[in-house]
Structure 1
Amino acid sequence: MALEKPPHTRKQKIASLADQCVQCGLCLPTCPTYGLDGNEAESPRGRIAIAAALARGDAEPTEALRIHLDHCLGCLNCQRVCPANVKYDELLVETRALIGPSPRRPKQLLAMLKQPSLLRLAARVGGSTGLAHWKQRLADRLPATSAWRSALETWSEPAHVAAPPVPKNQHADQPAVALFPGCVASVEDEAAERAAITLLQAAGYRVERLPAFCCGAMDLHGGDMDTADRLAERVRDSWQRSGATQLISVTPGCLGTLRRALPDVTVSDPVTLLAERRDRLVFRPLERRVAVHLPCTQLNVARSESALQDLLRQVPSLDLAMLPRPPHCCGAAGSHMLEFPERAARLREGVLGQIARLAPQQLLSSNIGCRLHLAAGMDKQGEQWPTMHPLTLLAQQLEISP
């Protein structure tokens, strides 16, 4: 009888993943941070070399070395074009877990963002005190590198969007999907969540909403593997109680972490399900020019950009203007805009320039972090493009049968 191979240690796994890289450099033109700095250490190839050196004991995780890993946005543009199929996402997660969380992480702020109840309380306090009108004066008193300053600048009063009507004729034999609300998205993207439920029900699905909590993405990508594992277990428990056949999230940024927690479950962007049943959906015309921003996670994790475009084209008279690439990333990247606000702002400038050239009446983006980050940049530039989740627009235009 063949003996089972002993499990790899984390260092062995990192070294094995790094060995897959053939150092061809095809990833360099797609990397936002390499484009920002022109520094090999800020490229996927450079970061893979750093990871390999750390795993083999040829280097120590000094501040000067780890900063290049911390700067990585995790956009995965590199992974999408890699001819050697390097699993860069897994390599990055394992390497950050090896060296542990950065001492620069704004722990208190991130802890608050992971608690939907605290976010709702903050929103009520902010609304009652008129924070939107004086937040910039408060932000200006904080250092340019402050995570709290960046959080203040991205704060906005949630838009009051009328709840779409609920389709009738729901049946128990319809396929059931579970919706994972997340943490920030469960508060800031509540309208998109309601829209997803309405659209999915109209397309013939039953929707079970799971409790709102953090999936662990910020901890996973921040190197806190113990916390990420605990939250993954909570995801699994919540999923098992749902009785659904597949899991969805209106925020593509959660999908990779949810798939990691539930490797045997179909976890997808709701637009993928909706596009498969678009013949069941009828939309009212809308004469509006909209710029469509495709978040990195929608392109490289959800892979749902075609499904989204197909759905939006079902709305008669809607003038779609897709943002070109490059630029490749707006700089939001989860907590990156809080930890490295100046770098995130530089990345954002290119995206805002592309939006301006499209001259839209509205901006659509499916990632709440991207929308908040871009909206903060618009405020600074005096631009007035209202932002919205694409699902919210689709639900507003949906024709509901009597």
Structure 2
Amino acid sequence: MALEKPPLTRSQTIAALADQCVQCGMCLPTCPTYGLDGTESESPRGRIAMAAALARGDAEPTATLRIHLDHCLGCLNCERVCPAQVKYGELLVETRALIGPRPGRPRALLAMLKQPTLLRLAARLGSAAGLARWKRRLDARLPAGSAWRAALGTLPEATPVTPPVAADSADGQPTVALFPGCVASVEDAEAEAAALRLLRAAGYRAIRLPAFCCGAIDLHGGEMDTAERLAERVRETWRSSGAEHLVSVTPGCLGTLRRALPGVPVADPASLLAERADRLRFRPLARRVALHLPCTQVNVARSEGTLQSLLRKVPELDLQVAPRAPYCCGAAGSHMLEFPGRAARLREATLDQVAALAPQQLVSSNIGCRLHLAAGMDDGGRRWPHMHPLTLLAQQLEDSP
């Protein structure tokens, strides 16, 4: 009888993942940080070599070494083009878990962002205090490079709208559970209501789960104990839902939800809507709209094609897809707060791409990307109304006959 092999240690896992890299360099042109700095240490290939050295004990996680790992956006453009199919995302998570959270990480700010109740309270207080009047003055008093200053720049000037959602009565239909998340449950509540409306119009039974953090911020920051506690909460919530599909309007949550729920169908709502697109009818909208595709929608959800097909069902809509030459807008979860200067450089390249399309409106499915881009619009004088693409679709949805 064959004996079971003992499970690999974290260091052994990292070394095995790193060994898959053939050092071909095909990832380099797709990497946003390599594009910023042009150095091997800011490339996927360079980071894989660092991870392997750390795992084998050939290097120590000095500040000089780990800054390059911390700079990684986790966009997974490299994984998408890798001919050796290196699981770079898994390698990055395991390496950050090995070396631990970044010193100086803004833990108090990140802890607040993970609490929907606190976020909602902050939004209401900001609106009541006239945030639009004093936001820039407060911004000027905070240190350059401060995570709190970067967060203030993304804070909406009005209280987010939370539309009422009618109860679902589609008995006998496949049940889809919407995971609200943390920031999205407050700042993108309108998109979540839109997703529920669209799913129900397409014939699904759609329910909304309780709002809490999926653990993505902790998982990608090396806070593995907290990430695992939140993953267990995800599992408990899923088991009690009785649903057959799990969706999130924020593609940035999908990878973490899939990690917590292996074998569970976790998807972008656009993917399920596309399967029943023949049931959806939309009113015309004569408007030029720029579609920004977040990295996670392209590389994790892989739903960019289905989303574009849905939007093109809106008669008269002039849909323009923003080119992905910069490859990432720089938001990347907490990256825009921890490295605001680098994030701003990537954002400028993205906004330049959008501006070249001369849009009347901008749509993007990731709330972090949208808030980050909006902060840059304010700074650069380029202001476009912005929303989630599902919100636009729901606004144009014809009532069912």
Please report the TM-score for the alignment, with normalisation by the length of structure 2.
0.98
Matches within 5 A, 1:108-119: 108-119=108-119
* DSSP-derived class of the 1:101 partner: coil
Deviation for aligned residue 1:401: 2.2
Deviation for aligned residue 1:327: 1.3
For residue 45 of structure 2, what is the aligned residue in structure 1? Answer: 45
Contact 1:164 1:195 in 2 (8 A): no
For residue 270 of structure 2, what is the aligned residue in structure 1? Answer: 271
Matches within 5 A, 1:94-113: 94-113=94-113
Indicate whether 1:209 and 2:170 are aligned.
Answer: no
Indicate whether 1:338 and 2:361 are aligned.
Answer: no
For residue 18 of structure 1, what is the aligned residue in structure 2? Answer: 18
Q: What are structure 2's unaligned runs of at least 5 residues? A: none
- CA distance in 2: counterparts of 1:104 and 1:275, whole angstroms: 43
- CA distance in 1: counterparts of 2:211 and 2:46, whole angstroms: 38
Contact 1:132 1:155 in 2 (8 A): no
Q: What are structure 1's unaligned runs of at least 5 residues? A: none
- CA distance in 2: counterparts of 1:281 and 1:62, whole angstroms: 55
Q: 1:342 to 1:225 in 2, by over 3 A?
A: same
For residue 121 of structure 1, what is the aligned residue in structure 2? Answer: 121
Deviation for aligned residue 1:325: 1.8
- CA distance in 1: counterparts of 2:162 and 2:49, whole angstroms: 51
Contact 1:26 1:81 in 2 (8 A): yes
For residue 297 of structure 2, what is the aligned residue in structure 1? Answer: 298
Deviation for aligned residue 1:136: 1.3
For residue 90 of structure 2, what is the aligned residue in structure 1? Answer: 90
For residue 131 of structure 1, what is the aligned residue in structure 2? Answer: 131
Indicate whether 1:54 and 2:48 are aligned.
Answer: no
- CA distance in 1: counterparts of 2:165 and 2:151, whole angstroms: 33
Contact 2:160 2:187 in 1 (8 A): no
Matches within 5 A, 1:225-374: 225-374=224-373
Contact 2:123 2:159 in 1 (8 A): no
- CA distance in 2: counterparts of 1:347 and 1:53, whole angstroms: 29
For residue 399 of structure 1, what is the aligned residue in structure 2? Answer: 398
Contact 1:158 1:188 in 2 (8 A): no
- CA distance in 2: counterparts of 1:162 and 1:92, whole angstroms: 36
Runs of 4+ with >2 A deviation: 157-168
The one-letter code matched in structure 1 to 2:319 is: L
- CA distance in 1: counterparts of 2:211 and 2:248, whole angstroms: 11
- CA distance in 2: counterparts of 1:162 and 1:59, whole angstroms: 50
- CA distance in 2: counterparts of 1:17 and 1:147, whole angstroms: 32
CA RMSD of aligned residues (A): 1.3
Aligned identity (percent) is: 76
- CA distance in 2: counterparts of 1:164 and 1:129, whole angstroms: 25
Contact 2:363 2:386 in 1 (8 A): yes
Deviation for aligned residue 1:397: 0.2
* DSSP-derived class of the 1:85 partner: coil
- CA distance in 1: counterparts of 2:161 and 2:149, whole angstroms: 27
- CA distance in 1: counterparts of 2:10 and 2:250, whole angstroms: 29
Please report the TM-score for the alignment, with normalisation by the length of structure 1.
0.98
Q: 1:265 to 1:162 in 2, by over 3 A?
A: closer
Deviation for aligned residue 1:161: 5.8
For residue 65 of structure 1, what is the aligned residue in structure 2? Answer: 65
